[in-house]
Amino acid sequence: MTSGLSFGMNYSWSKSIDDASDPGPTAYEQNLPQNVYDLDAEKALSSYDHRHRFVSNFVYAIPAVNWFLRNWQWSGIVTSQSGAPFTVVNGIDRANIGNGPAQRPDVLSNPNLPRNQRDPQRWFDTAAFAQPAAFTFGNAGRNIVFAPGLTNIDMSLQRTFEFAEGRRIELRWEVFNIFNQAHFDIPGRTAFSANFGRIFNTAEPARQMQFGLKVIY
């Protein structure tokens, strides 16, 4: 704490690898092998692998130059992380093994577009995928396409009113996602479908506000 200000920062640079990231299907992948006789082909980045993650927080006790500014406190949390990978799946049973929800297409090139070419209508290069030959499995690996990242800022303003020893009232105004940024969800990941590569949803809510009143006695 210096001059009423305290803060903390944390940065993580990490990498997680597995052959299944969850006990069951998720929005990112099926968590099933496309070929049970080739489990080595399932080794890839985990679907919760956020390579870069930065979190910072601060609390600032506003100097009381007059009665109105007395006992005010401003605080916030900043979170920024890179997107996690997800798996592109084939929409048809190309390998002719029956219900194969984890089958993948062939990949012809890197499907991840440069940052300045990505938008919700075309988040990755759908032309980088092709149907594999009949009765074969696709060569695309698990989790080779990256979902959108996230940057979010939450803030709060609080004032304490003391009216007796050990007794006080705290009034708080909290704003989540204060800049109302769109935090996009993963795009359509079923190859060759109408929504392939397109984003229709957000992963986090829009700006939200709430007021709180706490009586301490």
Tell me the per-residue pLDDT of 34-71, one tens digit each, with 9 for 90 and over. 999 999 999 999 999 999 999 999 999 988 777 777 88
pLDDT range class, residue 77, cuts 50, 70, 90: very high
Q: pTM of the prediction?
A: 0.86
31: Cβ contacts below 8 Å, ≥ 6 apart:
20, 21, 22, 23, 24, 25
Q: Where are the alpha helices (DSSP H) in 37-172?
A: none
Predicted pLDDT of residue 71: 87
Please give the single-letter amino acid code of residue 129. F
| Residue 32 main-chain phi, psi, to 5 deg | -130, 145
How far is residue 169's CA from residue 217's CA, in Å, rounded to a whole number? Answer: 9
Distance of CA 69 to the CA centre of its chain: 37
- Quote the radius of gyration of the chain (alpha carbons, Å): 24
Q: Where are the domains of the chain?
A: 5-88+144-216
The pLDDT tens digits of the residues spanning 136-185 come to 999 999 999 999 999 999 999 999 988 877 789 999 999 999 999 999 99
